[in-house]
Amino acid sequence: MSEQTRQLPEVRVGSSPDALMPISVAEKQLGAGLWQWLSFALVVVSAFGADQLTKWLVTSRLALGSSVSIAGPLQISHVQNSGIAFGFFSQATSLVIVLTTAVVLWMVFFFAHSGARHPLLPAALGLVVGGSVSNLFDRVVHGYVTDFIDFGFFPSFNLADSFIVLGVATLVFFLIAPDRYLPRSGDSRQAPGR
């Protein structure tokens, strides 16, 4: 048989709906779809609203610098923080506003392109963005952030800070850690000594 008359068989990994176009790569859209955007927005608005409500309750019912004991070391203390976590950059509010805005915009851009990567990404990133936007709002409007959760041995913080930490921890756990715990095909069925 000559090379011209001999044809290699066509190997298809998959096919398009009309079964005429071979598909060799499984494609999965990672960008955020409608449901991811709705979930993300709901978490952002809820985090923002809860943080602003608790700050309003503290500022309207507790004088600046005063505290109320709740249980054990937990106190509600009315504190104003012009910096970021632990009081860093307390004299650079404008810089903090610019950096926070840039980070929030980057997170929204990342979500737009990766929102479907993991089912918990809308909630985790929504907590981070909601908390960041709430603290950013306070810095722009008041020039400081109201902190009120006080354990005495740790710098005071607010719900927005808690949302940010929880969101980042969830991102780290669900986007990085699971790779170590996913079962490998055939690992559990391998006989000892093979």
**SS3 label, residue 73:** coil
The number of residues in the chain equals 194
Taking the C-alpha atoms of residue 180 and residue 194, their distance in angstroms, rounded to an integer, is 22
Residue 65: closest CA among 74, 73, 75, 77: 77
The yes-or-no answer on residue 161 being catalytic is yes
Selected catalytic residue, list 51, 138, 150, 161: 161
Selected catalytic residue, list 147, 150, 179, 187: 147
CB 115 within 8 Å of CB 121:
yes
Active site residue ranges = 147, 161
